[in-house]
Structure 1
Amino acid sequence: MHIIKLNAIDSTNTYLRQLSASKAIEDFTVVVAKHQTKGRGQMGTQWNVQDAKNLTMSVFKDITGVDVERNFYISIAVSLAVFEALKSLNVEKLSIKWPNDILSENKKIAGILIENVIKQNRLQASIIGIGINVNQIEFENLPKASSLQLMSGRFFELDEVMITVLQKLEYFFELLQKNSFSTLKAQYEEHLFRKNKPSTFKDMEGNMFSGYIKGVSNSGNLQVLLEDEIIKEFDLKEITLLY
């Protein structure tokens, strides 16, 4: 495992993607930055963090053995790795908000952005961006955000959090490489935020509706039980879970 530490960078994902495009890099190469000026989240959102108080890193992972139709299992493996890492650091009341936000007591404490490299319809590598709110205690205009320190009441060493996450990533990617899809999916669904609870959703037109989260499909769609007892699947662009 090769770890590259930077003081400041626009985006660790962008840096690592450009690095991997320019030369061959070893599996599990990690880029970690004290400050990110253009950190990105899902759907083009920005990930804003205070300098040196949070963990912002990206990991290069060789995924040549994973079938392209199983690409959501990469997201499952990473979500579980972050979930289990934070659990081992005694952060409580954790859940995974579909597709891969990590919550503690319904507050977002970690986000994941995965960018896959695909050539000739085959997965080659993943650039896995992980942002964890660690020791930041103020989140202006972000009422749904929190941090490990706020949720646990103690200060964390960033390197400790990073190493714990990387160890869990290695474990869950081993499961993925062994094609343990049912095990990974079962664990992921077990920790899904608001699973089997009455929830409110908003569609692309802004219409709100109610349903129960039942699980995810192999392609990563959210499976929701609607009022007419029909289970419907939604992808990330079609639906927003309100809470």
Structure 2
Amino acid sequence: MYIIKLNAIDSTNTYLKSLALVALPKDYTVVMAESQTEGRGQMGSLWRAEAGKNLTVSVFKKVSYLKIEQQFYISMAVSLAICKALKTLKIPKLHIKWPNDILSADKKLCGILIENVIKNNKMQGTIIGFGLNVNQKNYNELPQASSLSLLTGVLYNKDEILSDILNQFQYYFKMLEAKKFNEIKFEYETLLFRKEKPSTFKTKDNTTFSGIIKGVTENGMLNVWTEDEIIKTFDLKEVSLLY
């Protein structure tokens, strides 16, 4: 692995994307920063993290063995890898909130942003950005957030946690390369937050409806059993799951 450590940067994902524009980085090129000024989450949302207290990391991985229509398996594999690493730290009640937020009970620990490099209509690589709340203690403006240290009382070594996560990345990407898609999807759906429980959803025009999450499609759309007793599928731009 090739690890680049930075003190401060706008976004680790943006840094890797700029490298990829010139030439594809080496497999498992890792960029980590103590502080991000413009960290991003899903749908362009800002990701704020206290400097020095958390893991803000991006990883480049070659995925030319995947088809474009299989790209959501990257999101599933990454979510599972982070969950598996946190499970070894005895973090309780781990779930994946669709599409790829990592929760303990209903508290968000980690956000993931995946940006794929596609050339000539073929998958080349993926840039996996994640922000993991490690030792931060104050979330006054984010009542749904928590950190590993808040949950356990332990002050963690961030480099050790990153090493564990990267080891799990290698495990799950080997599964992807071996085309064990059914196993990955089954494991992902097993950890899906509020699966098989009545939940409330909000559409992009701010209307709400009730339904039960049944799982996901292969391309990452959410299958919801709705009040009119049919299963509807929604993509990330159409609906969000409320807590």
Normalising TM by the smaller chain, what interval?
over 0.9
Q: Which residue of 1 aligns with 2:188?
A: 188
Name the CA distance, whole Å, in 2 between partners of 1:25 and 1:39.
Answer: 21
Is 2:11 the partner of 1:11? Answer: yes
- Aligned CA-pair RMSD: 0.8
SS of equivalent residue, structure 2 residue 52: coil
Q: Which residue of 1 aligns with 2:159?
A: 159
Could you list the per-position Cα deviations for residues 106-135 of structure 1 after superposition, in whole angstroms to 9, with x for gaps in the alignment? 000000000001111111110100110000
Query: What amino acid does structure 1 have at the position aligned with 2:202?
Result: K
Query: What amino acid does structure 1 have at the position aligned with 2:172?
Result: F
Q: Which residue of 2 aligns with 1:115?
A: 115
C-alpha spacing 1:239/1:24, structure 2 compared with 1 (3 Å): closer
Q: Which residue of 2 aligns with 1:134?
A: 134
Query: What is the percentage of aligned positions where both structures have the same residue?
Result: 56
Q: CA deviation at 1:24?
A: 4.1
Q: Which residue of 2 aligns with 1:71?
A: 71
C-alpha spacing 1:24/1:198, structure 2 compared with 1 (3 Å): closer
After TM superposition, what 4+ stretches of structure 1 lie above 4 angstroms from structure 2? none
Q: Which residue of 2 aligns with 1:233?
A: 233
Q: CA deviation at 1:75?
A: 0.4
Once the two structures are superposed, the pairs formed by residues 211-230 of structure 1 within 5 Å of their partners are 211-230=211-230
Q: Which residue of 2 aligns with 1:37?
A: 37
Q: Which residue of 1 aligns with 2:2?
A: 2
Query: What amino acid does structure 1 have at the position aligned with 2:184?
Result: L
Name the CA distance, whole Å, in 2 between partners of 1:25 and 1:181.
Answer: 26
Q: CA deviation at 1:229?
A: 1.7
Once the two structures are superposed, the pairs formed by residues 43-82 of structure 1 within 5 Å of their partners are 43-82=43-82
Name the CA distance, whole Å, in 1 between partners of 2:25 and 2:107.
Answer: 36
Query: What amino acid does structure 1 have at the position aligned with 2:77?
Result: A
Q: How many residues align?
A: 243
The answer (yes or no) to whether the contact 1:92–1:152 under 8 Å persists in 2 is no
Query: What amino acid does structure 2 have at the position aligned with 1:173?
Result: F
Query: What amino acid does structure 2 have at the position aligned with 1:144?
Result: Q
Q: Which residue of 2 aligns with 1:207?
A: 207
- 205-214 or 21-30, which moves further after superposition? 21-30
Name the CA distance, whole Å, in 1 between partners of 2:21 and 2:209.
Answer: 44
- 107-116 or 23-32, which moves further after superposition? 23-32
Q: CA deviation at 1:137?
A: 0.5
TM-score by length of 2: 0.98
